[in-house]
Amino acid sequence: MRKQPQQKRARELVNRILKATENYIGLHGLEDLTTPKISEHSGISVGSIYQYFSNKQEIIESLLEYKSHELGQDFKQFVLCHSFPDLKSMITASIDFGFEQLQANNGYYLEILRHWHSLNGQKSIQILQTHFSELCMYILGKFYTGQNPERLELKVFIVVNSTIQTIMSYCSQGINKYSEQDIKQELTEMITGYLEK
């Protein structure tokens, strides 16, 4: 990002740019996205957009980071606002939540995943990993009170990364060989079994 917005009006303008970009990607795809189309879709002049972003790529990267924070916060709220009878039901509900989120937003996430190889999304993945890891450490710390914290942290790292990668791969590739239900069930069994070792 060329310039960080300091004042409320500037933050609102940047948010409008990001929201318009998200909507455009969901409706029309990523390949046709241009700064003039973002300008048209947001009602903000190209010159004003360039005050904050050097190019379209910077807008996309900022949007990926913003959406990763949003998804991470939504996931934390979802898990913490529900009471689950056991760890397995919490894992099942969390995996369902992940799939639902990726398939929401007018296809925005699915379009991003289809083009993931050409995007600079490493920072956004790190943001997701951080949110998910913090939540998992908090939740699992309650379920596994006597476990070595370093070992638990290692398990969380493996669970979070393998789950993110599996869901992203399945949604981006549209794998017809396995049903979504099969993926969810196997992920739940894998995670539950691994954590209980």
- 12-53: per-residue pLDDT in tens? 999 999 999 999 999 999 999 999 999 999 999 999 999 999
CA-to-CA separations, 101 to 95, 96, 115, 168, in angstroms, rounded: 10, 9, 18, 11
Domain boundary among 38, 53, 68: 53
Q: How confident is the model at residue 73 (pLDDT cuts 50, 70, 90)?
A: very high
Domain boundary among 13, 31, 53: 53
Averaged confidence pLDDT in the chain: 90
89 and 15 co-located in one domain: no
Percent of the chain with pLDDT over 90: 63
We report the CATH number of the domain holding residue 144 as 1.10.357
Q: Are 149 and 170 contacting, i.e. CB atoms less than 8 angstroms apart?
A: no
Coil vs helix vs strand at 164: helix
28 and 79 co-located in one domain: no
25 and 79 co-located in one domain: no
38 and 76 co-located in one domain: no
- 142-182: per-residue pLDDT in tens? 777 777 888 889 999 999 999 999 988 888 876 678 899 99
78 and 150 co-located in one domain: yes
49 and 64 co-located in one domain: no
83 and 172 co-located in one domain: yes
The pLDDT value recorded for residue 174 is: 66
The pLDDT value recorded for residue 171 is: 83
CA-to-CA separations, 51 to 1, 43, 97, 142, 144, in angstroms, rounded: 9, 15, 37, 47, 50
Coil vs helix vs strand at 7: coil
Work out the angle at residue 134's Cα, subtended by the Cα atoms of residues 112 and 17, and round it to the nearest 5 degrees. 35
CA-to-CA separations, 33 to 59, 61, 152, in angstroms, rounded: 11, 13, 43
* Tally of structural domains, the chain: 2
The pLDDT value recorded for residue 175 is: 61
We report the CATH number of the domain holding residue 11 as 1.10.10.60
Domain span at residue 98 reads: 60-196
29 and 112 co-located in one domain: no
**Maximum average pLDDT range among 83-87, 127-131, 177-181:** 127-131
